[in-house]
Amino acid sequence: MVNLTELPVNLTSPRDLSMIIKVCVVIPFFCSFLYCIVVMLYIFASHRQFLDSSRYILFAYMLINDTVQLLVSVLLFFLVMGQVKFALVYCVPLLFISNTAFQNTPLILATMSLERYVAIIYPLQCPPAWRSDRIWIIILSVWILSCVCTITECSIGPQKNAVDNLYIPVVCADSIVNSSPIQTLFKTVVNILCFAAVAVIILFTYVRILLQTRKLRQDRTSVSKAMNTVLLHGFQLLLCMLALTIPITESLIVLSTNWQRKDIAFFNFFCFVLIPHFLSPLIYGFRDQSFRSYIWKTFFCCLKRVKPSVKSVIQNNLFAS
C-alpha cells in the first residue's frame, strides 16, 4: 500500500499566490480605467463641440497617451514579474513606446497649460498653430521631441555586436536593457530638466492668467476656470513626478521592512505609476462640466439599456416555467 504522505500534492506556492494576488489587483484596476477612457473618447468623438476645440483635442491626446503607457507598462510589469525572457528585438519596441509615452505626459500638460494661456491672453487673435484644425502640428512636435529623447538614450549605450545581441533572450526591463551608467545619467538628467521646464511653464501661465484677471472687467468666470485648470495641470504634473521617486522609496522600504524585491517593485509600480496615471485623466475629465454631464448621460443610458434586457430575461423565464 502506497503511503499517502509520499504522493505529490499540488499546492499553490507562496510565490504563485503572490503573483495571483497581484494580477487580481492590477487587472480589474486597469479594466475599470480602460472603460472610463473608452467612454470619454466616445463622448469626444460623438460631439462636434469637442472636435472643434483645441483644449479637448489635447485632452483626447492625453487620454490616448496615458492608455498606451499603462497598457505597455502593465504588460512589461507582468513579464518581468514572471521572469519571461524573449529576444531583445521584440523587447526594445515595447520599452521605446513606454519611455516615449512617459516623456510625453509632462509635455502634454505643458501644452495644455499654454493652450489655456493663449485662449485667455489672445481670445480674438488666436495664433494659427493653436487653432483646432492645426493643433495636430503641436501634437506631432511633442511626439517627435519625446521620440528624440528616447532614441538618444538608446544610442549612447554600448554598441558592440549590437546585431548579435538583438536575438539574445532577456528579461524585458529598462534597468536591464539600458543598464549603462551613462544611459542612466542621461535619463535622470532629461527627466529632471523636462519636469522642471514644465513646472516653470505651468507657473508662468498661471501667473500671467492671474495678472490678466486684474485687467479684465468682464468674463471673469472663464478666466477663473482657466486658472483652476492650470492649477489642475500642476497637480497632474506632481502625480507624474511620483514615478521619479521610485529609487528613493525603494531604498527606504528596503531599510525599514523585510519585503522581497518583487513586492517592493509591485508596491512602487502600483502606487507611483498605476494610480497617478489612473487618476490624472479621470480627475480632469470628471472636473470638466461639459464632459461630466455627458459622462453621466452615457452611464445612465447604459443602465437603462441593461435594466430592460434583465427584465425581459426574467419575464421569459417566468413564461417558460
Q: In terms of C-beta density within 10 A (0-12 exposed, 13-18 middle, 19 or more buried), how is residue 92 classed? A: middle
- For residue 13, is it within any domain? no
Q: Is residue 85 helix, strand or coil? A: strand
Is 239 part of any domain? yes
Is residue 26 within 8 Å of residue 274, measured between CB atoms? yes
Q: Report pLDDT for 86.
A: 83
Helix (H/G/I), strand (E/B), else coil: 169: strand
Domain membership flag for residue 301: no
Lowest mean pLDDT among 3-12, 147-156, 220-229: 3-12
Which range has the worst mean pLDDT, 79-88, 128-137, 155-164?
155-164
Predicted local distance difference test score (pLDDT) of residue 254: 65
| pLDDT value at residue 318 | 36
CATH code, domain carrying 251: 1.20.1070.10
Q: How confident is residue 13, by pLDDT bands cut at 50, 70 and 90? A: low
Supply the pTM of this predicted model.
Answer: 0.82
Q: Is residue 177 part of a domain?
A: yes
Residue 38 lies in a domain: yes
Can you read off the three cell numbers belonging to residue 304? Answer: 437603462
Per-residue exposure over 232-268, b if at least 16 CB sit within 10 Å of its own CB, e if not = bbbebbebbbbbeebeeebeeeeeeeeeeeeebbbbb
**pLDDT of amino acid 304:** 58
Number of domains observed in the structure of the chain: 1
Name which of 178, 203, 17, 218 is nearest 113 in CA terms: 203
Please check the confidence at residue 217 and state whether its pLDDT lies above 60. no
Give the mean model confidence (pLDDT) for residues 270-286.
80
**Closest by CA position to 187, among listed 244, 145, 230:** 244
Helix, coil or strand: residue 171: strand
With respect to residue 313, please indicate whether it lies within any of the assigned structural domains. Answer: no
Q: What is the pLDDT of residue 137?
A: 92
The residue range of the domain holding 46 is: 20-289
3-state SS class at 2: coil
Q: Does residue 132 lie in a domain region?
A: yes
pLDDT digits (tens, 9 = 90+) for 179-191: 778 888 888 888 8
Write the single-letter amino acid at 78. Answer: F
- What is the C-alpha separation between 109 and 234, in angstroms, rounded? 8
List of long-range contacts for 289-295, beta carbons under 8 Å, 24+ apart: 290/49, 290/50, 291/40, 291/43, 291/56, 294/43, 294/47, 295/39, 295/40, 295/43
Taken in order 228, 230, 233, 235, is the CA torsion positive or negative?
negative
Q: For residue 129, what is the DSSP state? A: G
Give 6 or 243, the one with higher predicted confidence.
243
- Count of residues in the chain: 321
Q: Is residue 306 part of a domain?
A: no
Residue type for position 295: I
